[in-house]
Amino acid sequence: MYACRVRALLVSSALLLLAFAACGDTGPSRDSIATVDVAHPGTTLPEDFLGLSFEASVLGSARWAPSGSNLPALLANLGIGHLRFGGSSLDRRVRPVPDGDLQRLGSLTAATGWWVDLGLTLGRFDASAAATEAAAAARLIGPGLGTVAIGNEPDLFAADRTLRPNGYDYGDYRKDVVAYRAALVATAPAVRLSGPDTAGLDWLPAYARDHPAELSFLTQHFYPLTRCGGGRPTIADLFSAATKRRQLATIDATIAAAHAAALPVRLNEVNSASCGGQDGVSNSLASALWIADFLLTAGERGVAGVDLHGGLAACRGYTPLCAPGAAGSVAAAQPGIDPVADASLGAAGGEGPLAAQPDFYGLLLVHQLKGGRWLRVTSTRPSPLSEFAVVMPDGSIRVVLVNPAPTRAGVVIRAGGHRAVSRVLRLTGPSLSATSGVRLGGSAVAPDGTWKPRSERNHTATAAETRVDIPAASAAVVTLSR
């Protein structure tokens, strides 16, 4: 049956239900048993685990000003976290960030407790200007400035003749970092550094080895799929076995490089498909479920934080937040970049409220586990279902069950005497491909940015276990107390 399910996930999303039907799995299935090892808690999921990544081109948006904006309320739903500014637009900037833009970020961090990780332009080499910008950021953002980073995806510079017409390798990059670092020490000595913000893994171990004393944390980007070059990723691609293997390989290689240098690591630019994402996939319930699964997998394996990439403009492609009605910037403004990227990743004009996209609900779900210590979960049978568990500071157990399949899953949870269900929050939507109607805890994020979930008690408990039903294309956070 498991092999049949895997084959089903490899077909196009439009045929998912038919493929599972062919496997004879459309009706109720035998419950799986998820056993939680409550006796051996592991590391803690950090309070600042979550973050949002943006193109540097949106720094001028008036929406960063906390007064009259719903952005502080939206961020409050996620606790504290990081706002990272970089992306492909970073190294194509000519002018430094104006003081007014940095002041807005300072006001936002003061109002929310979030930190800013600011990219410095490297594509057009100017160490002195970058150091001056970092000093201004330290002064105007104040304690809300987390780190600065030197360039964005420098391992791809060699492929862009507008940035480096004579080629570019790791040796060139290291020389540039040394020059930028010297300028920073002279002009903004208190500013902390993160990096290398690479797209691939080839440079990461060397960078971690060469610059450990300078870094607050190591950074790496990851997109399992791509829209670049005419790619058309599907929902089935997002949950395929091949995608899962790429995810685990990237997470483990990044952690290995960081551990060798005794550094924490953030995956500081992540989403489902590069070049803006795929409409109907990257902005769907499927994407929200994938985000919950990927982020929890990364956190469980030792990643200190993940920043989800997006924009402040059109509600297309991938973006956790968007401006309803915005058209975005000019389509296909960059060669090789899909118009969806330009539409969703820009900064819409005006000062209207931002709306939560399906991706945001995946972040909301992960937030429910922050501060908890990881617990090992074992299951009686392999399936598309993903299972995670933590013990919270109050002693309760929270179990997350993610079901991307078009069939329900019954799960019996055994958690060492924890069986009284105090809360069940469900991540739901009309269908796996739904781009609207996504809810967590039965509630949508309101126009003012607030979110007020409703709990349910759809379960059966005995002296030793709790049974929870996980409908097709949904996830649940189950809180158990003794």
What is the domain-level CATH number for residue 28?
2.60.40.1180
pLDDT for the residue 344:
57
Do 107 and 230 lie in a common domain?
Answer: yes
User: Which one is predicted more confidently, 304 or 328?
Assistant: 304
| Residue indicated by tokens 């491909």 | 433
The pTM of this model reads: 0.90
Do 361 and 283 lie in a common domain? yes
Q: Residue 257 and residue 206: Cα distance in Å, rounded?
A: 8
The pLDDT value recorded for residue 92 is: 85
What is the reported pLDDT for 217? 96
Q: Give the Å distances, CA to CA, from 380 to 35, 243, 248, 264.
A: 8, 23, 22, 33
In the listed set 343, 367, 391, which residue is the last one of a domain according to the structure?
Answer: 367
At residue 327 the predicted structure's pLDDT band, cuts being 50, 70 and 90, is low
Residue 311's pLDDT is: 86
Same domain, 163 and 264: yes
Q: Are residues 317 and 438 in the same domain?
A: no
Are 34 and 64 members of one domain?
Answer: no
pLDDT at 276 over 50: yes
CA distances from residue 325 to 64, 312, 354, 434 in whole angstroms, order as listed = 19, 11, 10, 19
Mean pLDDT of the chain: 88
HSE at residue 280, side-chain half, CA atoms within 13 A, is 8
Does residue 7 have a pLDDT over 60? no
State the residue for tokens 């008690």: 457
Quick one: 184 and 62 in the same domain?
yes
For residues 418 and 437, state if they share a domain. Answer: yes
- Which tens digit of pLDDT belongs to each residue from 61-120? 888 999 988 999 999 999 999 999 999 889 987 788 999 999 999 999 999 999 999 999
Last residue of a domain, one of 367, 391, 407: 367
Which residue among 337, 367, 397 closes a domain? 367
Residue pLDDT, tens place only, 137-168 = 999 999 999 999 999 999 999 998 889 989 99
Residues 351 and 323: their CA atoms lie apart, in Å, by 9
Over residues 360-378, the pLDDT tens digits come to 999 999 999 999 999 999 9
Q: Grade residue 28 by pLDDT with cuts at 50, 70 and 90.
A: very low
Q: What is the CATH number of the domain that holds 350?
A: 3.20.20.80
Distance (Å, rounded) from C-alpha 412 to C-alpha 313?
43
Pairing mode, if any, of strands 193-198 and 215-222? parallel
* pLDDT the model gives residue 459: 62
Residues 319, 392 within the same domain: no
Same domain, 36 and 57: no
The model's confidence at residue 329, banded by pLDDT at 50, 70 and 90, is very low
Domain count along the chain: 2
Peptide bond into 196 cis (omega under 30): yes
| pLDDT at position 330 over 50 | no
Residue-number span of the structural domain to which 410 is assigned: 2-43+371-481
Work out the average pLDDT over 324-343: 49
In a shared domain, residues 115 and 205: yes
Q: Are residues 352 and 383 in the same domain?
A: no
CA distance 155 to 176: 13
Q: Does 305 share its domain with 384?
A: no
- pLDDT reported for residue 9: 38
